[in-house]
């Protein structure tokens, strides 16, 4: 390995933000706060430990995930309820909002729509901030625990990873086979999970979640949503996942409808404005 003479000078170059968000349309949090002050519960589903459940949220409604019984992490998938090809895009959400999300951040959807599908309206763990290890809560870094990575690292057949839980729940919701449902499962928002990167190796770490029963993370549905939430087999993710060793607890999902009058001026965001021609001559008029 040869180190160039100007190595330190090159390292000393200051970084710039990849995606400055000054031009990003901002949610009207005052309007959403006024709406949530009027909201009334319309439904709920309990996600059993080491399992997943689905739920639907009409555009303009709220949904809230609550820790019940014990410290528990949840893996969240979101789809456009009318078109499952539009789904939560963890990577672009991370690029725009950073590694961890809290109130005011928006869950972005996949190409070509790339729009805000949900806005975070309340986070009872917002006080946590960043800890001494660089850890924070609700990440869009991790993908979801899955039986393939588990098999690669440890062998064996474990069937209650979040990936499998989400697959089974979606299959049941759509009344299709797990083989048909599995390709729709995607990288998650890790609700209540406390994670970061090791400073020396850059490895993804997890630590015991600061979540306690009663803590909540709440969202406003910007479009009609189908959601699936898995109560991770890692429990509070303090030690291991992809096994039945950790203490696991259910999670509660509640749906709320606000007084529609409070949403005056709010509109479901349109699909992205790019015309999708990609500069190709033969398709230059596509989407015009
Ligand atoms: Zn998991």
143 C-alpha vs ligand 1 centroid, how far in Å?
A: 9
pLDDT of the residue at 46: 98
| CA distance readout (Å), 8 to 3, 4, 11, 13, 14 | 10, 9, 5, 9, 12
Average pLDDT over residues 125-129: 97
pLDDT in tens, 57-90: 999 999 999 999 999 999 999 999 999 999 999 9
pTM for this prediction: 0.93
Distance 232 CA to ligand 1 centre (A): 4
Cα(24) to ligand 1 centroid in Å equals 31
Q: Mean pLDDT in the chain?
A: 95
What is the whole-number distance in angstroms between the Cα of residue 188 and the centre of ligand 1?
Answer: 9
User: Which residues, by Cβ under 5 Å, contact ligand 1, an ion?
Assistant: 75, 145, 162, 232
Higher pLDDT, 178 or 18: 178
Q: Confirm if 52 and 184 have CB atoms less than 8 A apart.
A: no
Q: Which of 12-21, 57-66, 183-192 has the lowest mean pLDDT?
A: 12-21
pLDDT of 30:
97
pLDDT score of 33 more than 70: yes
Report residue 15's pLDDT band, with 50, 70 and 90 as the boundaries.
very high
| Better-predicted residue by pLDDT, 112 or 282 | 112
Percent of the chain past pLDDT 70, that is, above it, reads: 98
Does 241 have pLDDT greater than 90? no
Query: Mutual orientation of helices 147-154 and 162-174 as an angle, nearest 10°?
Result: 150
Alpha-carbon distance 70 to 238, whole Å? 13
Q: How far is the CA of 227 from the centre of ligand 1 (A)?
A: 16
The yes-or-no verdict on residue 286 having pLDDT over 70 is: no
Instruction: Give the C-alpha separation, 169 to 188, whole Å.
Output: 15
pLDDT in tens, 143-166: 999 999 999 999 999 999 999 999
Band of pLDDT at residue 14, cut at 50, 70 and 90 = very high
Distance from the alpha carbon of residue 104 to the mean position of ligand 1, in angstroms: 25
Q: Determine which of 13-22, 209-218, 227-236, 260-269 has the lowest per-residue pLDDT on average.
A: 13-22
């Amino acid at each position: 390995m040869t180190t160039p003479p100007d190595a330190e000078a090159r390292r000393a170059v200051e970084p710039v933000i990849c995606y400055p968000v000054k031009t990003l349309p901002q949610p009207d949090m005052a309007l959403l706060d006024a709406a949530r002050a009027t909201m009334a519960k319309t439904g709920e589903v309990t996600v059993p430990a080491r399992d997943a459940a689905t739920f639907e949220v009409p555009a303009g409604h709220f949904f809230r995930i609550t820790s019940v019984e014990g410290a528990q992490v949840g893996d969240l998938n979101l789809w456009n309820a009318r078109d499952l090809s539009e789904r939560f895009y963890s990577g672009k959400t991370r690029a725009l909002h950073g590694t961890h999300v809290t109130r005011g951040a928006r869950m972005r959807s996949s190409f070509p729509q790339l729009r805000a599908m949900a806005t975070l309206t309340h986070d009872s763990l917002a006080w946590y901030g960043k800890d001494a290890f660089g850890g924070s809560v609700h990440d869009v870094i991790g993908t979801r625990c899955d039986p393939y990575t588990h098999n690669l690292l440890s062998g064996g057949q474990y069937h209650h990873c979040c990936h499998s839980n989400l697959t089974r729940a979606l299959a049941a919701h759509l009344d299709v086979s797990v083989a048909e449902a599995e390709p729709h499962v995607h990288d998650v928002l890790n609700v209540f999970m406390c994670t970061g990167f090791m400073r020396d190796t850059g490895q993804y770490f997890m630590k015991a979640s600061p979540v306690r029963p009663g803590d909540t993370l709440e969202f406003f549905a910007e479009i009609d949503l189908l959601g699936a939430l898995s109560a991770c087999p890692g429990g509070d993710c303090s030690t291991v996942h992809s096994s039945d060793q950790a203490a696991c607890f259910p999670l509660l999902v509640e749906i709320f409808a606000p007084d529609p009058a409070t949403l005056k001026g709010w509109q479901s965001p349109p699909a992205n404005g790019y015309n999708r021609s990609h500069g190709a001559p033969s398709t230059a008029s596509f989407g015009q």
